[in-house]
Homo-oligomer: A and B are copies of this chain.
């Protein structure tokens, strides 16, 4: 495998591991094991653990950007916004991307982390602003709602959806999705039950 291909697979492994413990709480050994390489080779590829973390941050924001741009297609304005909002749930479903991003925000006390996080978030903002052409206030509302969903996903509120305040917090779209998932799960269980019984 070429070094570039390796770097790519290490980066993917890193996002998964960093999502659990952040920069300080994740060992290079764990990342190397997941990427199926030796731990010293990880250092040859990325220099330091922090370099790898910074690359992981950039990657999670790039993923978010890619999802949003793809969802918008050649739509603009409110239509593009709706499509993006819909698609953003795909991003939220991958808790590794989301939690790694959370660790990035939390680690902004570090100068390097803050620099990369600012730049990455800025790219995202500018892209959404450019595609939708919305006013600042609308953009603030859009990103604000996105951030609330980030937190909800980080806290895994879907798992405690029976609490009344959680129902309010998640909003109609996610409630519908949860009901849908629930129905699927019930169907699967029933199916399995039939199989077992048969």
Give the interface of A toward B (CB within 8 A): 19-26, 95, 99, 102-103, 105-109, 114, 117-118, 121-122, 125-126, 129, 136-137, 139-141, 143-148, 150-151, 154-157, 160, 163, 165-166, 168-169, 171
Contact = CB atoms under 8 A, between A and B. Distances in A.
A99 to B, nearest CB: 6
Contact of A168 (B114, B129, B146, B166): B129
Contacts of A163: 122
Contacts of A21: 24, 109
A147 B66 CA distance: 23
A106 B105 contact: yes
Contacts of A137: 171
A102 B99 contact: no
Nearest to A117: B155
A141 B141 contact: yes
Contacts of A20: 109
Contacts of A168: 125, 129, 136, 139-140
